[in-house]
Amino acid sequence: MRGDESHMRFADPRHARVARHAWVPVALLAVAVTSCAPPARLPPPKPSASAASLAPGCLPGTVVAPRLRIGVPSHGTPRTLGHEALANALSRRLALPVEIILLDRYDEIDEGMANGLLEVAMLPPLEYVKARNRDPCLTARLTLVFDGTVLYSSYLVTRKDSGLTGLRQLVGHSVAFVDQTSASGWLFPVARLSELSVDPFRSLSDVLFLGNHRAVIEAVIDGRATAGATYPGALEGARRDGLDVGALAILGIAGRIPHDAVVVRPDIEPSQARAIIDALASLNSTTAEGRAALSFGEGLGGFVPSTDAFYDQVREVVRQVGRFAGGTP
């Protein structure tokens, strides 16, 4: 089923230090996750056959894909048995070869969709908004469910021995972020700091973009950054892998962020697109097969029907940060 599989390859992750006043794109890496997801508290329902409607001016697709290639953020981890189980479960349901393609950079997932190299993708929230701006006919069909919810928060963490107790005290200190296309590792934390009149471009002694959540957590633990922006799942994954996350304290919490959006390439024939969405939605952590297929994501319990409007809050925060920074992220 996957014997002829070929993977997209990308350059190794590189740490980058960015000047305080810069607003520049940097290389993308996905957030850290680990396998073996526990059951979600709320089993996700299946979507109806009309889970998504076409945007005005969008014509129904005509392509019937002979195989299914799904782009998934690698989160800095290699292929797991969970990815194999997901491919096998979907292949049984769709009677098609299914290939899971792990990508280190969020923007490469969008590019794979745009270039016809992927039929389906799981797009992080900010990358989904950007992809939708590129192609208004691309729309969220499902949202991932983690630990029984479709929303999560960004945490700004510091060492317990830093002496800091609040976000306003970060003035004059260094802060590590993921990159400028990460919702929890940049966008929402910056919006929260701006609400507190902490200007990351002028108030901090240094801003570090380290490419992934694991590197951010390590930098705070090691003392290379006073604080860092990450999210609960990354902290749990780091704990499971033996990092001393017990040395960290939460300085502040930013936003309620939608989890990743599942999209189908707009030129896929509608009945096949619906079959793909229904096959994904049928997998949840209430069954042994579902738990195996979803075990590539820490706490991943399944999928729920979604719409483009569910990601409007991300767009609003993009505008907020753009106004604050004098530009658009």
> All domains of the chain, ordered by start, with CATH?
29-41+61-149+260-320 (3.40.190.10), 151-257 (3.40.190.10)
What is the reported pLDDT for 237?
A: 82
What is 220-265 written as a DSSP string? HHHTSSSEEEE-HHHHHHHHHTT--GGGEEEEEEEEEEE-PEEEE-
Could you read off the pLDDT of 283-319 as tens digits, one per residue? 999 999 999 999 988 889 999 999 999 999 999 999 9
Please, which pLDDT band fits residue 211 given cuts at 50, 70 and 90?
A: confident
Confidence band of 105 (pLDDT split at 50, 70, 90): confident
What phi, psi does 262 have (nearest 5°)?
Answer: -95, 125
pLDDT in tens, 108-117: 888 999 999 9
pLDDT at 76: 59
pLDDT at position 254 is 95
Q: Strand pairing partners for 121? A: 71, 263
Rounded to an integer, the average pLDDT of 127-144 is 95
% of the chain with per-residue pLDDT over 70? 80
Mean pLDDT across 151-172 = 97
Average pLDDT in the 154-180 region? 96
pLDDT at 29: 25
User: Are 293 and 86 a contacting pair, CB within 8 Å?
Assistant: yes
Residue with the two structure tokens 């089923």: 1
Question: What is the Cα–Cα distance from 160 to 111, expressed in whole angstroms?
Answer: 41
Quote the pLDDT of residue 306: 97
**pLDDT score of 62:** 96
pLDDT digit string, tens, across residues 226-281: 999 999 988 988 898 899 999 999 999 998 999 999 999 999 999 999 999 999 99
| Mean per-residue pLDDT, 165-177 | 97
Tokens of 28: 């993308």
Task: Select the more confidently predicted residue: 243 or 7.
Answer: 243
Supply the mean pLDDT for the chain. Answer: 83
Q: Average pLDDT in the 212-222 region?
A: 94
**Buried b vs exposed e over 245-260: b needs ≥16 C-beta within 10 Å?**
beebeebbbbbebbbb
